Structure 1
Amino acid sequence: MNMLVNSLCLLLIQSFMFISVCQFVPESRYEQTSTLVNTKIYIFGGNTGKSNFTNEVVYLNLSSPLNTAKPLWVKNTIGIPSAEILATSCLSSIDKSTVYIIGGQTHDPTNQNLINPPLVNAFNSITSQWTTVTTTGFYNYSITLDRMQAVMNNDGKIYIFGGKEVDYSVGDTNYGPYINKMNVLDTKALTWSSLNITNNVPTLRVSYTATLLSNGLIIYIGDFEMINSAKTNVNMNEQVNGNTIAPRNAHSAVLTNDGRIIIFGGNSANSTSRATTLRAQPDVAVLNTNISPYQWSIPSISSINSPQSLCFHSAEIYNNIMIIAFGIVTSDQLQTTETLNNNIYLFDVQNYAWISSTSTVSISNAPTSAAPSSTAPKSTKSSILPANVKETSTNHNSNYMTIGISLVQFSDAIILLLKATI
């Protein structure tokens, strides 16, 4: 009997050791793109350091408790057709299972050489199959875009503002201008159009965040912009009330159930090199979109379980938990080499606390509470400025459709409010 018990114990120990040894651990990376699909956070591609680009698709399954000490990563059996960095992705609002990957810098995964990519790929999260999406009407099919952020409305239209043009014919991803076009992809008709913004046009910019509110407004926060050929981060405080928030790019933003936008991390270094980083302070800030003008606040947060400061990371929100993954570690001193993060971090957006496991909180989809604020200095008020917008197709035979738009200007329109439902 004792021998049987000992044998069973040994078998359990060996099984545990086997699972521990065989558990998949993805490489550290940055400049990936991520999308939440039902209970899975998918991570697509990324730069694993020293210009090594990956076509991996990895995911976290949130249907089970998530622990920061040992996150259960899964590697998808089918990777992206090419190695991708600096692309944007969004989930289809029509079928809730297709992820659109748009733009980015594309490399051959075998030799890392630049290749001319399709503008749009589609990932079927049910079958794990990839499809090249053929579209019409894009303003220039000889280029692609990177460092932009897409959102999709309920009608299946993807809105993409700005970004940097990448012309693969010159063989240098640093070549190409920043733009301030608003490009729209209708995923039902597979046609592109452009919004003709006649007033308060934002400056050329990249590396911002885009958040679609329930009322159809898109909120653009932070970025790296071009002003008179000079590249700089944008002031984030001139057109809202509340605490002073440092300029930043390459940060993240998630939307809570009660209409608060929580930003994390970012890079405050004014440098054209993405490897040159400087911590953006504070690490966490909250924008209340339920009042006018909008208001920044800085929550008082315990340092327990707190993450390293990061930029070029991924962030998604699920059941009131913000999940942070990968990215470049930043510090209060200017860094010119990359230190990559391979951890995940969990932030409880109801209680404003970093946690080690999703099992330590009560999972709820109920509206979240307001953020407790610090006593940081206040910024100035301003008004929302109206602008006239028309949506125009690059096909000259198409009809014009008028939509409503308004801009909140942070010196150079740091927050853009676009009515995405038409």
Structure 2
Amino acid sequence: MNCKIYKSLNCFFILILSYLIFEVESFTPAGRLAHSSVLVVNRIYFFGGVDDQSNDLSEVFYLDLSKPFDMATPSWKDMSATSAIPFRSAFATTASTNNDNNPIIYLIGGLTRDQNNVDTFISLIHAFNPKSKKWNTPIIKGKEPERRRNIQAVVDDVGKIYVFGGKTDNSLGSEIIQLFNDIAIFNTKDLNWSQGPIVNAPLKRDLYTATH
């Protein structure tokens, strides 16, 4: 075979292969609401949500902030193939800790549904390890707060997660609609629930924001 033709064909196949690899690896998340997100080091992780067809989602993906990127083509990375939430999640909240250099993301509250839209509630908290890319349901001591959604969480410097208020309704198995104004505290070091003070607590509410 002519050397020039061989080189041309070689370059052609390399270009085609590069195109195919780019197409496989590229990912753009669909629009959604009611998802959860949290920053861990230089990645923003996103969990679940509700799509434009009112389907609850179990997707997990992140935005890589370790290097500059074009706003038109953010560096999204999809983890759903191996690390999807064990259920469809929406209207939950997330908080992360890094005890002993072991980052853990906690997904708290919200809807927990299977592929047939059936409630699959097991625990108010599920844990995701970004290093191992695995989920687990920690065994937690103390009295678990009543199920709730439309909440936010903050974590302090010693690994305690604070969740204020929220709402329960028939989507969470409650026969009545109820708002809360309590503070549920989850200690990630000893895996224990406790209650915060209720004296002079703000009015009952959901769909708020919280910042530490």
- Could you say whether these structures have the same fold, taking a TM-score greater than 0.5 normalized by the shorter chain as the test? yes
Contact 2:35 2:90 in 1 (8 A): yes
Rounded Cα–Cα distance in structure 1 between residues aligned with 2:144 and 2:55: 31
Rounded Cα–Cα distance in structure 1 between residues aligned with 2:9 and 2:144: 69
Distance apart, 1:53 and its partner CA? 1.1
Report the 3-state secondary structure (helix = DSSP H, G, I; strand = E; otherwise coil) of the residue aligned with 1:111: coil
Q: TM-score, normalised by structure 1?
A: 0.45
Structure 2 residue aligned with 1:53? 56
Rounded Cα–Cα distance in structure 1 between residues aligned with 2:208 and 2:180: 13
- The partner residue of 1:80 within 85, 93, 104 is 85
Structure 1 residue aligned with 2:139? 134
Rounded Cα–Cα distance in structure 2 between residues aligned with 1:53 and 1:144: 18
Using a 3 Å threshold, how does the CA distance of structure 1 residues 152 and 19 change in structure 2: closer, same or farther?
Answer: same
Distance apart, 1:145 and its partner CA? 1.4
Using a 3 Å threshold, how does the CA distance of structure 1 residues 186 and 39 change in structure 2: closer, same or farther?
Answer: same
Rounded Cα–Cα distance in structure 2 between residues aligned with 1:126 and 1:85: 24
Contact 2:124 2:144 in 1 (8 A): no
Contact 2:93 2:151 in 1 (8 A): yes
Report the 3-state secondary structure (helix = DSSP H, G, I; strand = E; otherwise coil) of the residue aligned with 2:21: helix
Instruction: Deviation per CA, 1:151-177: give whole Å up to 9, x if none.
Output: 11111111111111256334x7xx531
Structure 1 residue aligned with 2:189? 188
Structure 1 residue aligned with 2:161? 158
Using a 3 Å threshold, how does the CA distance of structure 1 residues 113 and 49 change in structure 2: closer, same or farther?
Answer: farther
Structure 2 residue aligned with 1:34? 37
Q: TM-score, normalised by structure 2?
A: 0.86
- The partner residue of 2:21 within 7, 19, 22 is 19
Distance apart, 1:27 and its partner CA? 2.4
Using a 3 Å threshold, how does the CA distance of structure 1 residues 195 and 6 change in structure 2: closer, same or farther?
Answer: same
- The partner residue of 1:121 within 122, 126, 130 is 126
Greater helix share, structure number: 2
Rounded Cα–Cα distance in structure 2 between residues aligned with 1:79 and 1:169: 24
Rounded Cα–Cα distance in structure 1 between residues aligned with 2:112 and 2:210: 23
Amino acid at match of 1:69: A
Using a 3 Å threshold, how does the CA distance of structure 1 residues 66 and 112 change in structure 2: closer, same or farther?
Answer: farther
Using a 3 Å threshold, how does the CA distance of structure 1 residues 139 and 126 change in structure 2: closer, same or farther?
Answer: closer
Distance apart, 1:4 and its partner CA? 4.4
Q: Would you say 1:44 and 2:47 are equivalent positions?
A: yes
- The partner residue of 2:8 within 6, 9, 25 is 6
Percent identity, please: 34
Rounded Cα–Cα distance in structure 1 between residues aligned with 2:122 and 2:54: 18
Rounded Cα–Cα distance in structure 2 between residues aligned with 1:41 and 1:204: 30
Structure 2 residue aligned with 1:98? 104
Gap regions ≥5 residues in structure 2: none
Alpha carbon RMSD of aligned pairs, Å? 2.1
Gap regions ≥5 residues in structure 1: 213-422
